[in-house]
């Protein structure tokens, strides 16, 4: 997607997509560059570079945060699962230095080389789109100069403009002057300054190094949305509050996350432990719904409270579902420990009766604990009151597994689950009518499965052969279905030679049973494809 936008912008001068804002908290004009941007005075001193989507100067309406407008979607971006006004790019994303001077927390290596200048980063240059250092456009020397210099006031912010950049001091004792944040002064549709596409760098050093020497820089990369809680997805509190982008709410959250990262580093990772991630299994039910199961950890002891009455602190499990990969997580069920209605041996189970055959779903299951009023670090030097306030509140209310990162939360649901019709006797005898769903197929969001070109053949024998013919009798595709528990198969509209998709038209299918109950029996039918792919 990024590459597509980049190529389009280079070949078509597509400036509409160059609508991002860049900020560095130490710039002299931070807080004054543009009254529309809620720079936060409290952020000064954090040395944070951050960026966010803003209102393009080339659009008549306010498109900050890229609010979803269904009427403006096109074939490569069908987002029917999202609500009107939902912010598609409301996030602020930032980078902040955590540590750059030895010794480092939780690192026994004692010989890291320290930078010669105590205050870091040494330089924080930024560049506009297509002016940033690029190995395909610039020499090694040009790139090196660009990264250890900043543009002089009033000079073009470009790698090419070497004469307009500060020189490298012979014996530097302090960082280079901080480059002003980009402003709207002198902006035109042909030369947008801010918003734009920006690239930036944090350059550290100089270092006196010999072969084999090491340096270390610890950075935190953070992101935030303009919401009170970043677990908005499963609460269905979808960000539609575009007006909040014109406040400091997102930046305040970004600062909070960066401060938490700093605190977690200084604590050496010795922080309260949530319950571990759960391994889940997902299968079909005879009713073509999804059944989720996971191993019980009811008796697991929390190592933070080992040897105490609070050690066994698992309180329950929560089942979440999303109809789209990284979006709109919903809490389906909160299951308390020992709930007999959801216990089968040493596993818990939950059947999603609202799931429908053919549709794709993502599931995640988390465990949560009872909460604790006290906590002590493993070395005994810190207690609950030493943690950030938000962390204290989480410990007291109960920690939940898998919410620390997307990689954990989505760990066991990278591939969507699509419930399927189970095999049954009538279908195996080829006495049930084979149906094609959807029929007709039309890539309009209402006659196709979200983001998929699949067509389902339902009520198939558990073992059979399916052939698809055009109206002229040409064999367009052929596939075998062989699954003793599933009575349907998917067809993604590829031709027999897999050279492309079948064109729009009327098609005939022939199903030949290969099951013992009806071996050789044939059933025929038709379906229609109208329009192209949804992908």
Average confidence (pLDDT) over 436-441 = 89
Q: Which of 118-122, 391-395, 491-495 has the highest mean pLDDT?
A: 118-122
- Domain 280-409 maps to which CATH number in 3.30.1360, 2.60.40, 3.40.50, 2.160.20? 2.60.40
At residue 115 the predicted structure's pLDDT band, cuts being 50, 70 and 90, is very high
Question: Which residue has better confidence, 78 or 161?
Answer: 161
Residue 36 pLDDT: 57
Q: Which residues contact 37 (CB under 8 A, 6 or more apart)?
A: 21, 23, 54
Specify the pLDDT at position 240. Answer: 61
Q: What is the pLDDT of residues 237-293, one digit of tens each?
A: 455 667 777 788 889 989 999 999 999 999 998 999 999 988 889 988 888 899 999
pLDDT digits (tens, 9 = 90+) for 67-88: 877 666 554 444 455 667 777 7
Select 425-530's CATH number: 3.40.50.300, 1.10.3720.10, 1.10.150.130, 2.60.40.10.
2.60.40.10
Alpha-carbon span 270 to 382, nearest angstrom: 9
Tell me the HSE value of 361 on the side-chain side, using a 13 A CA sphere: 26
Q: What residue spans define the domains of the chain? A: 16-269, 280-409, 425-530
State the residue for tokens 């002891």.
301
pLDDT digits (tens, 9 = 90+) for 491-525: 988 777 656 778 889 999 999 999 999 999 999 99
Fold agreement (280-409, 425-530): yes
Distance CA 151, CA 23 (A): 15
pLDDT at 208: 94
For the segment 422-433, the average pLDDT, to the nearest whole number, is: 94
Q: How confident is the model at residue 402 (pLDDT cuts 50, 70, 90)?
A: confident
d(CA 347, CA 312): 18
- For residues 404 and 394, the answer to whether their CB atoms sit within 8 Å is no
Of 421, 415, 285, the C-alpha closest to 362 is: 415
* Percent of the chain's residues with pLDDT above 90: 47
Arithmetic mean of pLDDT, 465-476: 94
Average pLDDT, the chain: 83
- In eight-state DSSP terms, residue 477 is E
**Model pTM?**
0.75
Q: What SS3 class is residue 117?
A: coil
pLDDT in tens, 29-63: 887 655 556 688 889 999 999 998 887 766 777 78
Higher pLDDT, 190 or 469: 469
Percent pLDDT > 70 in the chain is 81
Weakest-pLDDT range from 5-19, 49-63, 318-332:
5-19
pLDDT in tens, 347-388: 999 999 999 888 888 888 999 999 999 999 998 999 999 998
Residue 192 in this model has a pLDDT that exceeds 50: no
φ, ψ at 280 (rounded to 5°): -115, 155
Reported as a single tens digit per residue, the pLDDT across 405-419 is 444 444 444 566 788
Q: Parallel, antiparallel, or unpaired: how do β-strands 522-530 and 441-442 relate?
A: parallel
User: Has residue 535 got a pLDDT over 70?
Assistant: no
Residues 26, 46: Cα–Cα separation, whole Å: 8
Question: Given the DSSP bridges, would you call strands 441-442 and 314-322 parallel, antiparallel or unpaired?
Answer: unpaired
């Amino acid at each position: 997607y990024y590459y597509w936008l980049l190529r389009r912008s280079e070949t078509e001068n597509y400036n509409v997509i160059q609508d991002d804002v860049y900020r560095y908290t130490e710039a002299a004009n931070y807080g004054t560059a543009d009254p529309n941007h809620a720079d936060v005075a409290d952020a000064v001193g954090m040395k944070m570079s951050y960026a966010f989507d803003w209102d393009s100067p080339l659009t008549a309406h306010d498109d900050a945060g890229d609010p979803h407008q269904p009427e403006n979607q096109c074939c490569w971006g069908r987002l029917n699962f999202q609500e009107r006004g939902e912010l598609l790019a409301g996030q602020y994303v930032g980078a902040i230095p955590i540590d750059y001077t030895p010794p480092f927390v939780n690192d026994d290596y004692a010989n890291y080389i320290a930078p010669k200048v105590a205050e870091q980063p040494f330089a924080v240059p930024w560049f506009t789109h297509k002016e940033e250092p690029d190995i395909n456009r610039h020499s090694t020397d040009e790139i090196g100069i660009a990264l250890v210099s900043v543009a002089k006031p009033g000079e073009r912010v470009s790698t090419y403009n070497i004469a307009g950049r500060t020189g490298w001091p012979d014996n530097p004792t302090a960082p280079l002057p901080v480059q002003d944040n980009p402003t709207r002064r002198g902006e035109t549709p042909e030369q947008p300054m801010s918003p734009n596409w920006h690239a930036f760098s944090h350059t550290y050093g100089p270092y006196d190094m010999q072969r084999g020497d090491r340096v270390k820089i610890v950075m935190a990369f953070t992101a935030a949305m303009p919401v009170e809680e970043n677990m908005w997805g499963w609460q269905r509190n979808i960000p539609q509050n575009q007006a909040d982008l014109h406040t400091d709410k997102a930046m305040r959250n970004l600062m909070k996350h960066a401060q938490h990262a700093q605190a977690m580093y200084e604590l050496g990772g010795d922080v309260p432990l949530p319950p571990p991630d759960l391994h889940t299994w997902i299968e079909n039910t005879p009713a073509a719904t999804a059944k989720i199961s996971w191993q019980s950890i009811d008796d697991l002891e929390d190592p933070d409270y080992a040897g105490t009455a609070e050690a066994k602190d698992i309180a329950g499990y929560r089942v979440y579902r999303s109809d789209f990969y990284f979006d709109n997580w919903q809490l389906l069920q909160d299951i308390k420990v020992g709930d007999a209605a959801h216990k089968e041996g040493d596993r818990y189970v939950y059947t999603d009766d609202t799931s429908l055959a053919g549709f794709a779903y993502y599931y995640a299951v988390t465990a949560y604990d009872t909460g604790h009023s006290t906590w002590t670090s493993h070395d005994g030097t810190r207690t609950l009151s030493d943690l950030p306030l938000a962390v204290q509140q989480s410990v007291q209310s109960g920690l939940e597994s898998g919410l620390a990162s997307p990689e954990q939360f989505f760990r066991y649901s990278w591939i969507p689950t699509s419930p399927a019709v189970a095999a049954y006797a009538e279908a195996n005898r080829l006495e049930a009518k084979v149906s094609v769903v959807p029929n007709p197929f039309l890539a309009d969001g209402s006659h196709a499965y979200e983001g998929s070109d699949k067509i389902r053949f339902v009520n198939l024998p558990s073992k059979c052969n399916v052939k698809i013919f055009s109206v002229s009798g040409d064999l367009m595709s052929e596939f075998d279905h062989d699954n003793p528990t599933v009575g349907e198969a998917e067809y993604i509209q590829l031709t027999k030679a897999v050279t492309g998709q079948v064109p729009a038209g009327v098609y005939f299918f022939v199903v030949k049973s290969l099951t013992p109950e009806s071996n050789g029996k044939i059933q025929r039918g038709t379906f229609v494809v109208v329009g192209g792919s949804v992908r």
